[in-house]
Amino acid sequence: MIRQIYNEALTSDVAHHQLKWLCENTEGRISGRPEAAKAVDYTYQEMLNMNLDRVYLQPCMVKAWKRGQPEKAFIISGKQQFEVPVSALGLSIGTGSGGLHAEIIEVYDFEDLKELGREQIEGKIVFFNKPMDPKLINTFAAYGGAAGLRVNGAAEAAKYGAVGVVVRSLTLAKDDFPHTGVMHYEEGVEQIPAVMISTNGADFLSEQIKKEEGLQFYFQTSCYTEADVVSHNVIGEIKGSVYPDQIISIGGHLDAWDNGQGAHDDAGGCVQSMEVLRIFKALGIRPNYTIRAVMFMDEEIAQRGGQKYAEQANANQEKHLMAFEQDRGVLVPRAIAFSAFDPENEKHQNFKALLKPYNIEVIKGGGGVDIGPLKQFYPDIVFGDLITDDQRYFDFHHSGNDSFDQVNKRELQLGAAAIASLIYLIDQYGIN
């Protein structure tokens, strides 16, 4: 059956066509925007066309942050101006029509802010220039080591009187794509505008700061946040033939940052989740448990979709055995991880043996932002995810480089087959 699952996945164009449509027709689908609503309508209709046992929309209130006009940024050296690529951070305020012009000061991390103090920071723009650590093999660990500057940099710099922040993009690549991502203000601390600068731009800016004392910087953004609006999770399921009231969820997040097409993050995870249900239908697999695909909304900004899904599951007194999240990019699949994995368990050893011919390891792990809220209601739930080769993932993540042409069709299909295979094994033979 696993061989049949792989055969079906690797000879199908369905998921690849779905990904292409989402990327080309709903680009900029950050939650609260019309593009996100269009993606909801599309995936809902696609699952209706699959003749699943149930397809429905789950309403949730989401934040509505708008980028506004394209950002502008310049390094100002005497009478010269050097334009550099920047992107406003999600939930940042704008600079206003006149932009922000001030001396820029370079720091590495929050400790540097403390050492400099208000006397040297007040009235200036703070430039956080901490690269992801290239020595780390796990690029997610490298990302985690620098992401706090993006999330909390504006709040921390404002405590010392900074008027704005510029943050180095979170990628190991050297390019001209400024990244973005969510940031947060702190109650009682003045809100200041925040942008990310491309890695090439960051290197150039750093060089100029070293050359010229009191270097000036200018950036203009027009982003703003409107009142919350209604959006939806999109859910489709095949009812279990033996345990219809017990649920295995598979999902990705439908929203994506508005500076790109969101192919790897996370339209790919969404179409792979739908592909699991399509493969089951195509092969006539009638699962023992209810298998549910969830297209979560608002993962990037406030995770309202994941919270609503968990709250509604609890309110409906549903039984959730496992939740699987695919949000690590559409790259070569390396392993399947689930939290209940035990290398001494004979059943799990058999899972490993069955997936080894497909170059898939089975390991302990699993989890994700959207499925995480389920834990508060289902403490024994098993989490899972697909581990992909992550060396290039942050070349795309949260940037304009995250486009359909950066996805390899075979890698997309191999990932879907790996997920479908594990779900099939767990459904047929149980988790423990």
Q: What is the pTM of this model?
A: 0.95
Total count of domains within the chain: 2
Q: Which domain holds residue 85?
A: 68-222
Q: What is the rounded distance in angstroms from the CA atom of residue 47 to the CA atom of residue 55?
A: 7
User: Which element (helix H / strand E) includes 224?
Assistant: strand 224-238
CB atoms within 10 A of CB 208: 19
> Which uninterrupted H or E stretch holds 167?
strand 164-168
For residues 60 and 104, membership in a common domain is answered with no
Q: Same domain for 294 and 371?
A: yes
**Separation between Cα atoms, residue 272 and residue 12, nearest integer Å:** 12
Cα–Cα separations (whole angstroms), residue 375 to 234, 289, 314, 347: 21, 19, 11, 25
SS3 of residue 125 by DSSP: strand
Same domain, residue pair 300 and 194: no
Same-domain pairing of 236 and 275: yes
Q: Are strands 194-197 and 100-107 parallel, antiparallel or unpaired?
A: unpaired
Which CATH number fits the domain that encloses residue 380? 3.40.630.10
**In a structure prediction context, what are the per-residue pLDDT tens digits for the chain, which is 432 residues long?**
999 999 999 999 999 999 999 999 999 999 999 999 999 999 999 999 999 999 999 999 999 999 999 999 999 998 899 999 999 999 999 999 999 999 999 999 999 999 999 999 999 999 999 999 999 999 999 999 999 999 999 999 999 999 999 999 999 999 999 999 999 999 999 999 999 999 999 999 999 999 999 999 999 999 999 999 999 999 999 999 999 999 999 999 999 999 999 999 999 999 999 999 999 999 999 999 999 999 999 999 999 999 999 999 999 999 999 999 999 999 999 999 999 999 999 999 999 999 999 999 999 999 999 999 999 999 999 999 999 999 999 999 999 999 999 999 999 999 999 999 999 999 999 998
Long-range contacts of 129-132 (CB under 8 A, 24+ apart): 129/168, 129/202, 129/205, 129/206, 130/168, 131/168, 131/172, 131/199, 132/170, 132/171, 132/172, 132/394
Domain boundary among 170, 193, 222: 222
Verify that 406 and 304 share a domain, yes or no.
yes
Please confirm whether the linkage preceding 266 is cis (ω < 30° from 0).
yes
Give the end of a domain, one of 155, 189, 222: 222
Residue 56 amino acid letter? Y
Alpha helices in 302-382 (DSSP H): 304-315, 346-355
- Whether residues 362 and 262 share a domain: the answer is yes
What CATH number did the domain enclosing 197 receive?
Answer: 3.50.30.30
Query: Are residues 353 and 393 part of one domain?
Result: yes
